[in-house]
Chains A and B, each alone.
Chain A
Amino acid sequence: MSFIDYNLPVLIVIVPLLGGLLSVLWGTLFGPRRDLSWGWAMLVAAAELALVLKMVGTVVDSATGSVVYNMGSWPGPWGIEYRVDYLNAFVLLVVAGIGAATILFARHSVHDEIPHDRSHVFYGVWLLCLTGLVGITITGDTFNVYVLLEITSLTSYALIAMGKDRDRRALLAALRYLILGSIGASFILLGIGYLLMLTGTLNMEDMHNTLIAIPDLATNRTVLVAFAFLLVGLSLKSALFPLHMWLPGAYTYAPSAISAFLASTATKVGIYMAFRFMYTIFGRHYSIEVLPGHLVLLACAAAAIIVPNLSAIRQTEVKRLLAFSSAGQIGYMVMGFALANEDGMTGSIVHLFNHAAMKGGMFLAIGAVIYRVGSAHITDLNGLGKRMPWTMGAFSIGGLGLAGFPLTAGFISKWYLIKGCLTAGYWYLAVLVLFASLLAVIYVWKMLERIWFTEPDESTAHIKEAPPTMLIATWGLILTSLYFGVHAEFTVGMAQKAAAFLLEVTP
């Protein structure tokens, strides 16, 4: 076994960590060089994607479906353990893929939106944010989750606030996110604290085994308190309705590439944490059968697919519209995993991937519009299909995917979700999912009508197609979503194995 093979899980975290620090160090020592910073970040993100692809291959090839790495060769529960199974491998793929695509896109966009002398800090912080996200996903230690969560959060507050040169409201949005995010993270830490008190361990698997051995688990109040704190904290972090109010502002005013990056990764990793805590640590028996935790989540998810989608219809700022739509899509993912059956969870996990690709592509397309037009008010879209056909083509395909048209990836995830609802006997939820898709059709159509069926204004004659790096990144994500909309074997296969794994190891 070569060095890289053996240390693969930890390299996935170390590469962007060192990459980010070096970017800041280099820029501070030798002066900021924008293209050099970008090239370095691109190199690190590409290396990260290669490592993650190798990791996914290792997990798929392994006999047990999970790879364990002991930090410093100290075995768990004493040492910190990294544990990669189908679920994290899949989420890692989403995070690293989106990271590479958005950094590729960022070259011109950052040139436009971030002051020259701060580009090296910007890319450095961005790579640190990537570190936090892959770290949360890969670790098997609960305190590690908290620390890496805070790395992700702190860097994303800074990244969002860097949108201040385009619109000063970015500062308010970042501060609001900071306050709510810190409270959410504190709740998560409190929940972990109560679990530590009870089990004396921080290792996820050990924690689960100790928890289910507690004789009065069903009535134990400490476990209940831990569960409640974790549920609220994770809902805040993954922007589940009604705790989503930080999200629209943060995604609207962040720099374009950061909007795309955070919208497709941060909340997804939040959902992933909820999966881990509910199924791997508390276990299906406790979360679903002892406590009606899933009923609370189902109610919130049902509201989440309706209310933010209704708000999205009213929006006139395209980025804000997409942000509200993201808050709505979170509802689908939460609904899938709260159904606690294989189809529902498959739908939820597949939707993590599909939504990241579609929404990431749409945010990137809007980033290209901001680069060329200067703003992204809905009236700026008038006739833009004639000026920027490729960008708008990608945007439209992404939009159709959001609404769940057949042949797009959104169709696959909704198909499994509705199947899951029907299996669980909640036919009215299936109806609600279809209704929410109609809402998505309304706001997508509102934009498509302006793009393709309105004559462009003479004053926009100077607007050209977006530069090639932007187009490659945007189309890369959109084609991924199209490909996996038709050939869903890989994504659905991974998701089904992950769902089966979560439901099986937790009796």
Chain B
Amino acid sequence: MSVLLSFAGTYNYAIYIILMMIGFYGVIAKKNLIKQALGLGLFSTGLFLFYISMGVFDGGTAPVWRAVHEGGHALKDAGPYDNPLTHVLILTAIVVSVSTLAVALAIIVNIQRAYGTIEEDEIRAIEAGLHPEEEVA
């Protein structure tokens, strides 16, 4: 029971690890270069979830002032709020991840132009035929 409860409180973290591992599997096991790039995207999405989960507080809201009325006076109160720092950080990381994907896809487009295929096996076979004595990059 306690295991279940502790899981219920931290399932975000479980999902982040599952997402990352699905992405990692894609990167390692898939031979199609686009699928590898997608795996990389999923891998970093898991990372975003980790950072965002980290900033959450119980009952937290957005970090903005709220008007609270108390005995005819309007008071300003922020209340409990989520840590905005991690959200800001992850905005940067999202930009980085998008740029990485863009560069990856640009390189894959060039590979398609140079080899006529984006299957890793076929590219390796082409290179092994041309340069039998060298290892492929």
Contact = CB atoms under 8 A, between A and B. Distances in A.
Interface string B59-78: 00000000000000000000
Contact of B43 (A186, A249, A316): A186
B107 A193 contact: no
Contact of A317 (B27, B103, B115, B134): B134
Contacts of A174: 107
B103 A157 contact: yes
B81 interface: no
For this complex, into which size category does the number of interface residues on chain B fall?
35 or more
B133 A178 contact: no
B111 A175 contact: yes
B100 A168 contact: no
A502 B68 CA distance: 51
A25 to B, nearest CB: 18
A139 interface: no
B133 A164 contact: no
A179 B27 contact: yes
Interface in B88-122: 89, 92-93, 96, 99-100, 103-104, 106-108, 110-111, 114-115
A387 B44 CA distance: 52
A252 B51 contact: no
Interface string A122-138: 00000000000000000
Q: Classify the secondary structure of A's interface with B.
A: helix
A176 B27 CA distance: 11
Contact of B50 (A176, A190, A316): A190
B89 A143 contact: yes
Contacts of B93: 146, 189
Contacts of B107: 157, 161, 171, 174-175, 178
A316 B100 contact: no
A176 B51 CA distance: 27
Given A171-B110, A252-B137, A182 B54 contact: no
A182 B137 contact: no
Nearest to A252: B137
Contact of B47 (A143, A189, A196): A189
A488 interface: no
A14 interface: no
A173 B54 CA distance: 36
Interface string B30-58: 00010010001001100100110010000
A179 B36 contact: yes
A172 interface: yes
A241 interface: no
B123 interface: yes
B86 interface: yes
B51 A186 contact: no
A193 B33 CA distance: 29
Nearest to B111: A171
Nearest to A167: B137
Interface string A246-265: 00111011000000000000
Given A175-B33, A179-B40, A183-B43, A161 B110 contact: yes
B59 to A, nearest CB: 19
B137 A253 contact: yes
B23 to A, nearest CB: 9
Contacts of B43: 182-183, 186
Contacts of A154: 96, 99-100, 103
A193 B110 CA distance: 35
B125 interface: no
A144 B63 CA distance: 24
Contacts of A171: 107, 110-111, 114
A172 B100 CA distance: 16
Contacts of B104: 175, 178-179
A193 B53 CA distance: 11
B108 A169 contact: no
B18 interface: no
8 contacts: A143-B92, A168-B114, A169-B127, A170-B137, A174-B107, A179-B40, A183-B24, A186-B47
Task: List the 3 shortest-distance A-B pairs measured between CB atoms, nearest first.
Answer: A249-B137, A173-B137, A168-B114
Interface of B: 24, 27, 33, 36, 40, 43-44, 47, 50-51, 54, 85-86, 89, 92-93, 96, 99-100, 103-104, 106-108, 110-111, 114-115, 123, 127, 133-137
Given A168-B115, A171-B107, A175-B111, 19 more contacts: A143-B92, A147-B92, A157-B103, A164-B110, A168-B114, A169-B137, A170-B137, A171-B111, A171-B114, A173-B137, A174-B107, A179-B27, A179-B36, A182-B43, A186-B47, A189-B47, A190-B47, A193-B47, A196-B86
